[in-house]
Structure 1
Amino acid sequence: MLKTLRIVFAIITLVLAGYGLATGNSGVVSPYMMLFMGAMLLVMGISEIKNERKQIGFMSIIVSLFVFYVSIQGFLLNYTSFI
């Protein structure tokens, strides 16, 4: 289950990154890409903890929290630029 989620989030992130590169409008797509990247890192951290590799798992969870923070900042900055 976790492996499937990780692959789905990775594919969504890759598609969003490709779309941002193809259209040249990465500022709009970037927060969504970061959101799915954070979700992918969170799932990877949980699976690493389940596989008894706790250091890598906790590091992945910490990085995912930072990526979620960056994503939220991106959403807020894009929202305020439209007002």
Structure 2
Amino acid sequence: MSEGKPASDWRYQELQRLGEQERLMARELHDVREAIARIVKELLPHHAPKDRINDVVEASGYSRTLIEALRGGKDIWTYS
């Protein structure tokens, strides 16, 4: 450890553990969102009837706006 952080200070290890956990969770969230987008596109081709769109909105718990964006191929979860 460097001079400023004593080896006995448990907070450094906890910070490292939490950082690793956050990175893992971010990757899992990314994978889940990709799966959601893929399934929405599979269920809702461009010619899908409105009742099917409503079924997907209801099943997903997401707004129609979000489902329409996913259906259109937009990457709505990128924050750049």
Q: Which TM-score applies when normalising by structure 1?
A: 0.37
**Structure with greater helix percent:** 1
Q: Which TM-score applies when normalising by structure 2?
A: 0.38
Q: Which has the higher contact order (CA 8 A, sep 6+)?
A: 1
